[in-house]
């Protein structure tokens, strides 16, 4: 079925991830009109695909995430972004489910993106890489599922931009999605979110080392601009109460103000650290392309201006999740999705998790989130006829 | 009383503002310990000081404001930041009050700041300029009042960083302030606000044209970094609903996505414009110093950790004003000030204005704000024994 043997939960993992080349014979037609192929897709799997290929969960990563959901990051060595949720008996139970996560199109962790060589020119794509959309990312994921021989996933799940992909999946391939969990997301990027992304892009473009996107040819890296972009974005991932609780006005390793421009405050030091570590693992042009894809996302606009049209006739079971302190993708954005689903009589649960951790709550230790995911997956699994978790009697 | 004749409301204004040199004989001792002097102060006045010098209103400008409250800006030609509020019969009635506004210490519109020449070296201060505080700004304003022969101002008023100065005035010179109006402000800068300022500073420092602050000697200007700083900050001045109402996801002069990195969305175009016009009128090092002063501001910390200690024994009449949609200086920050004032039995009114315009509401056409200001000033004027407005019978 596949060029890669999906490891079962007890099998050794492939820490460098898996890779497949897609679209060799049939190029991928992007929303911008460009036909692209071949496209390399970097992905990772956990658990074992069952005999009738009905237990696959597609996990969609966020803007700066990647396929290393539950592996040490190949560059930073840090644990995967949902490390605690993946494994035998865990929320995403590798004894029951076959988990797949692929790096998005335009990314920089193994899937074709602007830092890769354009086979037509022999040079890095840079800004000649076509502008991609959330729909394009999902189309590539659909090709990956074709390759893996999976007609329908049991569930597609993701937070933030990952949640946009979940919604796009449900709209574009409804018959391929048994259940869906969009978390901390929206059916369209708001003006404020576009504005924050634009600040990040302008910070990158302001860096002379960016060289109009052609930095690889010049042997430079726009790390200062990318770090500023990351810092600005990082603030939006947290809540004011979380920042206050975590840092307040505490000074960093000093008793009094320096009366200078060093990082006097812990929050400054933290932000600088976020910026400087990010540039080690992320490509600046990928940041431009992926933020652009988020800004372009508007599921209602793709369906005649009426969001519920995107879900008309859906048989997918939905669990929509938001967080009270998330001001980047606030609860009203999730509620709009729920209302649209209600309007077409979809099967939908909606949980607003009370948390002061802001947008990043979906990546953090939030017991209510984890309980919600487990409960919804258990119920959906029963409907799908998947076996119960080990140790749970009927 | 003064080297400059304050113009009355009918007198021709001085569009370039007034200037005075202070601290020649007695240097100004800054919070960092440095003694500074002479210091040039650029200021502007409106209306006429009355015979007993009891009708002065000190207006404190915000981070990127200046003394041109109600004059065309000397560089941009745009109307002053409170243009509509100043004049005969207006909120700040120049028939009744003598208005004073000075550019803050560290600024770039006439008051000594990092772009000026350090008399000791004959070269621009740059980063050798001492790090200043809100207290230092207020101290220089107090010297200006000494110079103008004003012992006590009838009112000190300002929004945002201007409001910080108002609070500092009331704490440091309580006997010199008859009434005070801190608007859309806080008694200390929050971790989130420090974080946003730090992003702006890092954006400036990331610009190679900044030259470690020594750009004037190099004949460069860190305009790209300063523009990014402005863009990031500007988002925080608006509310999400205001951005949505003003721009939504509207495209800028096009019918469809460009699938490129031009400013497809109106909100992008608007932000870029904010960035590019700002750099024409503002000095990058001033931006560093003034944001630092805001971050250092913590009135409770200056008074043993108890905010009410800052106001103990105050006879000043307070009107504290906040806006419902201001997420940079949200209402709880104003409420903390009100609680501290209540704890020392101060005379305080508190108005939370319902507005969706965000932090910038204090600069915009907000009838409830204007009515609140007029009402409070009328009441305070009566207590101060100032004559009623023209045409108002007793």
Rounded-to-integer distance, Cα A198 and Cα B272, Å: 9
Q: Which residue has the tokens 């209510």?
A: A368
Q: Compare CB distances from A191 to B189, B243, B330 and report the shortest one's residue.
A: B243
Mutate to test the interface with B, among A220, A228, A276 (most CBs of B within 10 A): A228
Q: Are residues A166 and A280 in the same domain?
A: no
Query: What is the band of B15 on the pLDDT scale with cuts at 50, 70, 90?
Result: low
* Residue A385 Cα, gap to closest chain B Cα (Å): 43
Determine, yes or no, domain membership for A10: no
Parallel/antiparallel/unpaired status of strands A28-29 and A35-36: antiparallel
Q: Please count the other Cβ atoms lying within 10 Å of the Cβ belonging to residue B335.
A: 14
Q: Which residue has the tokens 């010179």?
A: B173
What stretches in chain A show pLDDT beneath 50?
1-12, 394
Determine, yes or no, domain membership for B254: yes
Q: Compare CB distances from B231 to A32, A194, A199 and report the shortest one's residue.
A: A199
Q: Are residues A375 and A352 in the same domain?
A: yes
Q: List the structure tokens of B154.
A: 């009838």
**How many pairs of residues across A and B have Cβ atoms under 8 Å apart?**
162
User: What pLDDT sits at residue B275?
Assistant: 97
Parallel/antiparallel/unpaired status of strands A153-159 and A177-183: parallel
Whole-number mean pLDDT of chain B?
94
Cα-only R_g, chain B: 21
Which residues lie across from A180 on neighbouring strands?
Answer: A156, A318
* Residue A57 Cα, gap to closest chain B Cα (Å): 31
Instruction: Judge whether A337 and A298 are in contact, CB under 8 Å.
Output: no
The DSSP code for B53 is S
Q: Compare CB distances from B235 to A195, A208, A257 and report the shortest one's residue.
A: A195
Last residue of some domain: A292, A323, A352? A292
Query: What is the band of B13 on the pLDDT scale with cuts at 50, 70, 90?
Result: low
Cα-only R_g, chain A: 21
User: What pLDDT sits at residue B7?
Assistant: 42
Parallel/antiparallel/unpaired status of strands B177-183 and B317-323: parallel
Please state the rounded mean pLDDT for residues B259-266: 95
Rounded-to-integer distance, Cα B133 and Cα B301, Å: 13
Please state the rounded mean pLDDT for residues B321-341: 98
User: What pLDDT sits at residue B4?
Assistant: 41
Packed helices B191-205 and B223-237: angle between N→C axes, nearest 10 degrees: 160
Please state the rounded mean pLDDT for residues B96-100: 98
The residue in chain A having the minimum alpha-carbon distance to the alpha carbon of residue B293 is A259
Q: Are residues A272 and A349 in the same domain?
A: no
Q: Are residues B115 and B228 in the same domain?
A: no
Determine, yes or no, domain membership for B28: yes
Q: Are residues B122 and B229 in the same domain?
A: no
pLDDT tens by residue, B308-328: 999 999 999 999 999 999 999
Alpha helix stretches (DSSP H) within A93-214 = 134-148, 161-172, 191-205
Last residue of some domain: B237, B271, B292? B292
Closest-CA residue to B106 (of B140, B55, B70, B59): B140
Q: Are residues B108 and B26 in the same domain?
A: yes
Q: Residues of B with CB below 8 A from A257's CB?
A: 32, 131, 296
Rounded-to-integer distance, Cα A230 and Cα A275, Å: 5
Q: Residue B111 is part of a domain; what is its CATH number?
A: 3.40.50.1820
Whether residues B249 and A201 touch (CB distance < 8 A) is answered with no
Q: Compare CB distances from B228 to A199, A288, A295 and report the shortest one's residue.
A: A199
Q: Which residue has the tokens 């930073």?
A: A76
Q: Are residues A216 and A91 in the same domain?
A: no
Q: Residues of B with CB below 8 A from A260's CB?
A: 131
Rounded-to-integer distance, Cα B35 and Cα B391, Å: 49
Please check the confidence at residue B5 and state whether its pLDDT lies above 70. no
Q: Which residue has the tokens 């953090």?
A: A364
Determine, yes or no, domain membership for A4: no
Q: Residues of A with CB below 8 A from B131's CB?
A: 257-261
Range of the domain at B136: 18-191+299-384
Rounded-to-integer distance, Cα B153 and Cα B145, Å: 8
Catalytically active residues of B are 160, 326, 359
pTM of the model: 0.94
Determine, yes or no, domain membership for A125: yes
The DSSP code for B43 is E
Please check the confidence at residue B3 and state whether its pLDDT lies above 90. no
Number of domains forming the structure of chain A? 2
Q: Residues of A with CB below 8 A from B298's CB?
A: 249
User: What pLDDT sits at residue B12?
Assistant: 40
User: What pLDDT sits at residue B10?
Assistant: 41
Catalytically active residues of A are 160, 326, 359
Determine, yes or no, domain membership for B131: yes
Please check the confidence at residue B94 and state whether its pLDDT lies above 50. yes
Rounded-to-integer distance, Cα B210 and Cα B5, Å: 40
Q: Among B2-6, B250-254, B386-390, which stretch is predicted with the lowest mean pLDDT?
A: B2-6
Express the helix, strand and coil content of chain A in percent, nearest 5 each. 40, 15, 45
Q: Are residues A308 and A376 in the same domain?
A: yes
Instruction: Judge whether A275 and A225 are in contact, CB under 8 Å.
Output: no
Q: Are residues A152 and A168 in the same domain?
A: yes
> Three-state SS for B385?
coil
Determine, yes or no, domain membership for A2: no
Whether residues A194 and B235 touch (CB distance < 8 A) is answered with no
Q: Which residue has the tokens 């005070």?
A: B180
User: What pLDDT sits at residue B389?
Assistant: 84
Please state the rounded mean pLDDT for residues B23-33: 95
Q: Are residues A27 and A151 in the same domain?
A: yes
Rounded-to-integer distance, Cα B265 and Cα B274, Å: 14
User: What pLDDT sits at residue A3?
Assistant: 41
User: What pLDDT sits at residue A390?
Assistant: 78
The residue in chain B having the minimum alpha-carbon distance to the alpha carbon of residue A206 is B224
Last residue of some domain: A248, A271, A292? A292
> Three-state SS for B303?
helix
pLDDT tens by residue, B202-249: 999 999 999 999 999 999 999 999 999 999 999 999 999 999 999 999
Q: Are residues B35 and B159 in the same domain?
A: yes
Q: Please count the other Cβ atoms lying within 10 Å of the Cβ belonging to residue B314.
A: 21
The residue in chain B having the minimum alpha-carbon distance to the alpha carbon of residue A296 is B257
> Three-state SS for B274?
helix
Q: Are residues A34 and A22 in the same domain?
A: yes
Determine, yes or no, domain membership for B1: no
Q: Residue B215 is part of a domain; what is its CATH number?
A: 1.10.1740.110
Q: Which residue has the tokens 């949720």?
A: A85
pLDDT tens by residue, B124-161: 999 999 999 999 999 999 999 999 999 999 999 999 99
């Amino acid at each position: 079925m596949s060029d890669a043997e999906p490891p079962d939960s007890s099998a050794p993992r492939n820490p460098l991830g898996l890779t497949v080349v897609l679209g060799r014979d049939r190029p991928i037609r992007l929303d911008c009109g460009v036909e692209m192929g071949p496209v390399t897709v970097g992905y990772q799997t956990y658990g074992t695909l069952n005999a009738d290929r009905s237990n696959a969960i597609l996990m969609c990563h966020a803007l700066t995430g990647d396929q290393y959901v539950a592996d040490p990051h190949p560059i930073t060595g840090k644990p995967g972004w949902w490390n605690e949720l993946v494994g035998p008996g865990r929320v995403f139970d590798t004894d029951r489910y076959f988990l797949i996560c692929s790096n998005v199109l335009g990314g920089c962790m193994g899937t074709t993106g602007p830092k890769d060589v354009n086979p037509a020119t022999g040079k890095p794509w840079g800004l000649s890489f076509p502008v991609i959309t959330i729909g394009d990312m999902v189309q590539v994921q659909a090709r990956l599922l074709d390759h893996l021989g999976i007609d329908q996933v049991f569930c597609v799940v993701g937070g933030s931009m990952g949640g946009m992909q979940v919604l796009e999946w449900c709209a574009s391939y409804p018959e391929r999605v048994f259940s869906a969990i969009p978390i901390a997301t929206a059916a369209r990027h708001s003006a404020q979110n576009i504005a924050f992304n634009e600040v990040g892009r302008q910070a990158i473009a302001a860096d002379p080392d960016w060289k109009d996107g052609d930095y690889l040819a010049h042997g430079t890296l726009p790390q200062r601009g990318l770090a500023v972009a990351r810092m600005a974005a990082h603030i939006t991932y947290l809540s004011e109460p979380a920042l206050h609780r975590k840092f307040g006005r505490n000074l960093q390793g000093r008793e009094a103000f320096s009366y200078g421009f060093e990082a006097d405050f812990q929050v400054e030091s933290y932000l600088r650290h976020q910026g400087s570590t990010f540039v080690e693992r992320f490509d600046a042009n990928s940041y431009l392309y992926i933020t652009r894809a988020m800004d372009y996302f508007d599921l209602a606009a793709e369906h005649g201006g009426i969001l519920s049209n995107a879900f008309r006739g859906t048989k997918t079971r939905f669990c929509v999740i938001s967080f009270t302190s998330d001001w980047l993708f606030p609860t009203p954005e999730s509620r709009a999705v729920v209302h649209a689903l209600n309007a077409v009589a979809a099967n939908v649960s909606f949980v607003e998790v009370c948390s002061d951790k802001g947008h990043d709550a979906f990546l953090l230790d939030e017991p209510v989130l984890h309980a919600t995911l487990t409960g919804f997956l258990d119920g959906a699994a029963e409907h799908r006829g998947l076996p119960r978790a080990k140790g749970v009697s009927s």
